[in-house]
Structures are given as C-alpha cells and as structure tokens.
Amino acid sequence: MMDWPAMNMATAIWMAAVAYASPMMLAALGEVISERAGVMNLGLEGMIAVGALVGYGVSADHGSAWLGLAAGGGVGLLLGAVHAALAVWIGADQIVAGLGMSLAATGAAAFLGPMWITWRSQPAFISELSASRYKALLGFPPTTYLALALGLIAVSVLSGRRLGIAIRASGDSPEAAEALGVRVRAVRSSCVLVGGMLAGLSGAILSLAYAQTWTSTMPNGMGWIIIALVPLSGWRPGRVMLFCLLLAAVNALQIRFQIIGVKLSASILDMMPYVATLIAVIAGRIWPWRKGRWNEPSALGRPLEQ
C-alpha cells in the first residue's frame, strides 16, 4: 500500500498539474481551432505574456480578478485581430507574422510590466480565484471547469456538420470551400480571433489563478510547448487537452523535486517539461496516431489564392 506521505505528494502533484494545465488547455484549444482553419499562430507565446500582464494589472487597479480575466481575453482578441489582418487579409507569411508578434508582444510585456505592476504583497482580489474558496468544486478553482467546458465546446464545434465543416474545409481546401460559398477569410479570421482571445485569457489565468502574481518571464515557454503539442495531438482538441495535462504533471513534478531538495541542478529540473515535449514529438513522429496520417490541415500556413 502507498503510505500517507507518498499519497500526499501524489495529491499535491495532481492538484498542481491540473492548476497549470487549465491555462495551457485554453491556449492549446485556441491554437487547434486556428490551425484547423489553416492559420498558424506562432505569436501564441507573446499573446499569453500580454494577457498575463494585462489581466493582473487590470485586477490590481480595479480590485477584481474577474475583470482581469475579461481584460486578458480582450487584449488577446485585439492581438488576434492584428494577426488575422496580417496572415489572412494581407496574405503575409504566417511564420514571419507570428514570430514578429511573439517577439514584439513578449518584449512589450517585459518592458511595460515593471512600470505598471509595482511590488506589493499578495492583493486581496487574488482570493477570488483561489481554490480554497471553492471547496464545493472539489478544491479546484472555477477556471479549471472553464477550461473543461470550453474543451467540450471545441470538440462539438470542430466535429459539427455546418460550422465544423466550414472550419475544416478552410484549412484543407480553401479554394474549393470558397467556390462552394464558404467565406474562407471570414472563417479563418474568426478562428484566429477565438485563438487570440483564449491565449489572452490563458495568460490572465496563469498570473491570477496559478502563479497569483506577475513576473517578466511569464509564460516561460508555455506557448512554444503548445505549438509543439498541437501537431502531436493530430489537431484534435480532446487529445491536446490530455497532452497538456501530462506536460503539466511533468512541470508539477519538477517543482516538487525542487521543494523536497532532490540532488539535481535546478537548471536540469527546469528542463524537464521541455525535454518531455521533445521526446513526445519524436515519439509521435515515429508512431503517429493514425497509420500514415497526422490529420494535418492540407492548407495550413497557406493563404487563400484567388
């Protein structure tokens, strides 16, 4: 039988994994939706970073964590609109546009954050999203259930007959979809906007509900891990949520190792989530989910040709 200390440690790792997986799942769902429509968003890291800053800053200024979540989602929506304008309407290279977005947004958050977020003790508004306040929800904050609910909605939408077909057709064969009456640019733009909003909301949850503070290093590579996980999942929302939970467990494990004083360099422990991601991607390429197929949208990264 497992002794009580081991059970307590396993419970702590599980709770920490679920807490970290919640913002990760939201950003991953947004990336799946965007890429299924044919638009790659490499600006994800920057959108999460700005969402984390704006969410925490607005909450600190107005004393409401819920308002901060709305602000994080709103700024993500604005950044998504910029990416949609560049990648969908102007026809800019999606990789270049996304990388530019990521670098600019991450740099802006790191530069403006210290001027906005002054050092203070943990503000009272943080308790609005604290798990201890929601004992009736099995100890998880409401943001965890928000991620699960949006995951179910994403599965339903992408597998749907009308909207789901329009999204998948826009990512697989945009010219044929356009010929059949699908407004491909509108569909792609809408998906990018949803992805941006979920990325910004993810950042706000990261700073308000998970870390309960803001630092200039947020999100510390979360966006890049998600970009690697989306192809590994076969662009399926259910699978990408599962992978997010597994990677969050690895992250929680390395944090627990540092707490209990495992005799390994902190730098090596910090590498664990990234090494696990690389191993998973390599393994996925060797043993794909479906034999001979990765379910990749055929027109991913390619603008609509008239």
Predicted local distance difference test score (pLDDT) of residue 85: 95
For the chain, residues with pLDDT lower than 50 are: 1-7, 121, 136, 290-292
Give dist(CA 298, CA 126) in Å, integer: 44
Among 30, 250, 68, CA closest to 154: 30
Q: What is the pLDDT of residues 64-77, one digit of tens each?
A: 888 999 999 999 99
The model's pTM is 0.88
Give dist(CA 71, CA 55) in Å, integer: 6
Predicted local distance difference test score (pLDDT) of residue 116: 87
Give dist(CA 219, CA 275) in Å, integer: 17
Among 76, 217, 55, CA closest to 125: 55
Count H helices, E strands: the chain? 12, 0
DSSP state of 298: T
Which CATH code is given to the segment(s) 4-286? 1.10.3470
Predicted local distance difference test score (pLDDT) of residue 129: 66
Asked whether 250 and 272 are in contact (CB, 8 A), the reply is: yes
Predicted local distance difference test score (pLDDT) of residue 292: 44
DSSP state of 289: S
Predicted local distance difference test score (pLDDT) of residue 130: 61
Give dist(CA 135, CA 139) in Å, integer: 5
Q: What is the pLDDT of residues 152-190, one digit of tens each?
A: 888 888 887 788 889 999 999 888 988 888 899 999 999
Predicted local distance difference test score (pLDDT) of residue 100: 94
Give dist(CA 275, CA 244) in Å, integer: 14
Predicted local distance difference test score (pLDDT) of residue 107: 94
Asked whether 47 and 223 are in contact (CB, 8 A), the reply is: yes
Give dist(CA 109, CA 118) in Å, integer: 14
